[in-house]
Each structure stands twice: as C-alpha cells, then as structure tokens.
Amino acid sequence: MKVVDSKTGLIQSPTIDYTRTITLPIVGEISAGPREDVIDCRSLGETVEVPRTLAPGNDNNYIAFRVNGHSMEPNILHEDIVIIKQSIDWDNANGKVCAVRASDGVTLKKVVLDPANSRIILQPFNMDYDVQIIDPDQGLELILIGNLSLQMRLFKID
C-alpha cells in the first residue's frame, strides 16, 4: 500500500471557495410602479441564499430587493425577490429588466433605449401602468443600478 499526497502545491487551500451558495441581504423594497424611494429592509435581517452557479463572479456585484407593486405583472409579482447584477453599462441594459434610480426614486422596469431621440423608455409589463419616457428636457438624470439576474418567488404554506 502506498500513501499518496493529494496536495499538489499549486493551489493554496485558503484561496479556494468551496461554498455552493452565496447569501445576499435583502436591502430594500424596489418599486414596480412609479419611482419611489427604496424602503430600507436591512435592519430586518432578511437574506436570500442563491446557488453560486446562478450568480457567477464576485458576490459584491449582486444586490437583492423585494418587489413592491404590480407594474411588472404577470412576469414579476408583488413580493417577489429580484437579484440585480450591478452595472452602469446602458448599452447592455437595452431590452432588459433593470433597476433604475432617479432623483425621485427607484423602479424596476424593462429598459428601451431610443438614441435617435436621446430618450430612455421605462416599460412596464402590466398594461394598466404608464410607460415612463425620460428625455433630456426633463432635467432628470437616470442612473442604472443593474440588470435583473434572477427572480425568486416564495410560496407560504399554511
């Protein structure tokens, strides 16, 4: 019988992350409707555990929100958890569901860029809600928080 040393010496064990999940705090509620201030939920201590394969890369690139509103129904429901991959690249946001911040609040909408008219269109899925068109004449600066990476729906069984 021969004893084999499994350590190759090429990888130092403290640098390897063997966890299969990441835990993200739910930082607040994001409006699925008109832009509103984010209600800070960090003090509640709620977290969501996500498989690492669904959130690749650095854990700090992701932020979790609870959806508050109905403008993204039927796809994204009130109280769903959305994981946003933080990004400031507007070109990558075109046609995607994104978290967007303006001086009057934050919202979750499908982003459509209209470069010909220098406009950003925030489009809800629910037809009962108005499309928000942001153009330079409004004096409103939009900041992209990031793209929707993952949506989670929790079911409560009584």
Tens-digit pLDDT profile for residues 21-30? 899 999 888 9
Domain ranges of the chain: 22-151
Dump pLDDT digits (tens) for 72-111. 999 999 999 999 999 999 999 999 999 999 888 889 999 9
What pLDDT shows up at residue 64?
Answer: 95
| Average pLDDT of the chain to the nearest whole number | 85
For 22-151, CATH number out of 1.20.1250.20, 3.90.1170.50, 2.40.160.40, 2.10.109.10 equals 2.10.109.10
| 122-147 pLDDT, tens digit each | 999 999 999 999 887 777 788 999 99
C-alpha dist (Å) from residue 59 to 19, 53, 77, 145: 12, 11, 25, 15
Tokens representing residue 139 in the block: 């004096």
Which residue type is seen at 6? Answer: S
| pLDDT given at position 155 | 81
d(CA 57, CA 136): 35
Cis peptide before 14 (omega within 30 of 0): no
